[in-house]
Amino acid sequence: MSGGVIHDIFVIGGGINGCGIARDAVGRGYSVYLAEMNDLASGTSSGSTKLIHGGLRYLEYYEFRLVREALMEREVLWKMAPHIIWPMRFVLPHAKGIRPAWLIRLGLFLYDHIGGRKLLPATKTLDMRTDPAGKPLKPLFTKAFEYSDGWVNDARLVVLNARDAADRGAVIRTRARVASARREDGIWRIAVEDTRTGKTEEVRARLLVNSAGPWVDRVLSGTVGRNDVHNVRLVQGSHIVITKKFSDPRAYFFQNRDGRIIFAIPYEDDFTLIGTTDQDYEGDPARTAITEKEIDYLCAAASEYFVEPVKRSDIVWTYSGVRPLYDDGASKAQEATRDYVLKAEGGNGQAPLVNVFGGKITTYRRLAESMLEKIEEHLGRKGRPWTDGAALPGGDFPAAGYEAQVASLTRDHAFLDARLARRLVRLYGTRASRIVGNARSLADLGRCFGTELYEAEVRYLVDQEWAVTAEDVLWRRTKRGLHFKADEVAALETYMKDIGGRRRTAAA
């Protein structure tokens, strides 16, 4: 048992919603314990298209509340974390026979006007025969619309919320699976299993938050012991990453003949990200992987637009995620609502439980605020909404100040080449200087594990960001995995195991 402590709130799940709720709650003065069974962001929150967007497509399904809230969040989130979130322009070619130009214009007019846009530039029309965005596309696309949305490093957004929550006093445990949760004498008794040692400890809390993403129903049936649970519809979405298809900094929004849409987005300097698909999913969300059919679909859909077709041989990486959409009974996977629903139960002597169904990365901060309203109903009010305007770790610099941060880092550490300095500021913002420390040469950063990844960064990730395995480092804290060779991955894995082993011995 974790001492005599009874926490105010126990959060199940270290995805964007769990970490966002933990951060908001601890910042208001509640004591918080969060358990994640794997790595932070190892579920859906690292498998997204990585857009901070209103969701132009959702207007077709009349999701005005969601679109407006999400649009409003774009500039709020950009200011909170300008290192990992930034504006991006999207080029939407007009494709004859799919949606009429007037409908797109109407959608973009709403998009520009309902979301409190202040800094992001407005929509404009492009002549693709002369605009550089037309160059990689087939000449039949002569006209396009260009509009604003945002880009986010999704996995890092999760970790930064967790870091900030921990800095404010929350307990954040990874590789900690909630095996069972039961009510007793008005509180929750939660069995938390360390997945590395198999040891279980009991944690007590007044209120339980179930933000287990696609596992939310499994937690209700398996962990809380409920029968007949069906709240979410699981919808798989996959992406392919290919060698760079175009050098324009703008992303493309392509309409497909089946009425769906896909994005082609500049990614990690050297690549293009293409996705996503929508297909119902059954089975363990941890095992999701792209299917042959999805690969064919994405290659074919992008090849309708690009002059140079997208081939399987262009693919360097793929990833899949499972959307936990609130089941509103929509007939097609792409039509199911993307809005979130919070449902509370308990109270009146029974320890309360609040479940999170659905949600977008874009709306996680607002979801957390709504969750806090529910929590206040049960635990009494503490603090006020505070996260709007509160920078995430490393994000304490002006929204348009990225280049100035890079200049400042290279001024203080002249040995850093531009590419490495840019990468460090993109990932860690003002905290990049904590990684570089007093180093005066690359050698002072320690062992180099592979392209641009030095020991100083890995140590920071282990000490500050809960990284345990090579996969955590290479695919979630950074995307160095795109550049690493198999022997480099193996060497990093050995290093991570050594550190973990030494820490466990020291703790024993």
Query: According to the binding rule CB under 6 A, does residue 429 interact with ligand FAD?
Result: no
Q: Which helix (H) or strand (E) holds 183?
A: strand 176-184
Region label for 222, one of left (φ > 0), alpha (ψ between -120 and 50) or beta (otherwise):
alpha
Q: Which of 7, 13, 162, 253 binds ligand FAD (CB under 6 A)?
A: 13
Q: Which of 82, 213, 393, 395 binds ligand FAD (CB under 6 A)?
A: 213
**Binding region for ligand FAD (CB under 6 A) out of 11-19, 22-30, 414-422, 451-459:** 11-19
Whole-number minimum distance, CB 139 to ligand FAD, in Å? 30
CA 170 to chain CA centroid, nearest Å: 20
Query: According to the binding rule CB under 6 A, does residue 223 interact with ligand FAD?
Result: yes
Query: According to the binding rule CB under 6 A, does residue 174 interact with ligand FAD?
Result: no
Query: According to the binding rule CB under 6 A, does residue 266 interact with ligand FAD?
Result: no
Whole-number minimum distance, CB 481 to ligand FAD, in Å? 18
Please, which residue, 51 or 162, has the CB nearer to ligand FAD?
Answer: 51
Please, which residue, 134 or 213, has the CB nearer to ligand FAD?
Answer: 213
Q: Identify the three-state secondary structure at position 230.
A: coil
| Distance in angstroms (rounded) separating the CA atoms of residues 250 and 156 | 22
Nearest to 301 by CA among 260, 251, 247, 249: 260
Q: Which of 148, 153, 174, 211 binds ligand FAD (CB under 6 A)?
A: 211
Query: According to the binding rule CB under 6 A, does residue 42 interact with ligand FAD?
Result: yes
Site string for ligand FAD, 344-373 (x = CB under 6 A): ------------x--xxxx-----------
Quickly list DSSP for 80-99.
H-TTTEEEEEEEEE--TTSS
**Binding region for ligand FAD (CB under 6 A) out of 214-222, 250-258, 376-384, 455-463:** 214-222
Query: According to the binding rule CB under 6 A, does residue 188 interact with ligand FAD?
Result: no
| Distance in angstroms (rounded) separating the CA atoms of residues 149 and 263 | 12
Number of residues that bind ligand FAD (CB under 6 A): 41
Q: Which of 27, 47, 93, 429 binds ligand FAD (CB under 6 A)?
A: 47
Which residues make beta-bridge pairs with 263? 253, 275
Site string for ligand FAD, 226-255 (x = CB under 6 A): -----------x------------------
Nearest to 23 by CA among 215, 184, 160, 219: 160
Residue 448 DSSP class: E
Whole-number minimum distance, CB 376 to ligand FAD, in Å? 21
Q: DSSP alpha helices (H): ranges in 114-246?
A: 154-167, 216-218
Nearest to 179 by CA among 232, 218, 228: 218
CA 418 to chain CA centroid, nearest Å: 27
| Distance in angstroms (rounded) separating the CA atoms of residues 169 and 486 | 39
Tokens 């800094």, located at residue: 119
Query: According to the binding rule CB under 6 A, does residue 318 interact with ligand FAD?
Result: no
Q: Which residue is nearest to ligand FAD (CB)?
A: 15
Q: DSSP alpha helices (H): ranges in 122-258?
A: 154-167, 216-218
Q: Which of 111, 215, 252, 306 binds ligand FAD (CB under 6 A)?
A: 215
Tokens 């874009």, located at residue: 362
Question: Using CB under 6 A as the criterion, which residues of the chain lie in contact with ligand FAD when the complex forms?
Answer: 12-18, 35-38, 42-45, 47-51, 53, 177-178, 211-215, 219, 223, 237, 276, 321-324, 356, 359-362
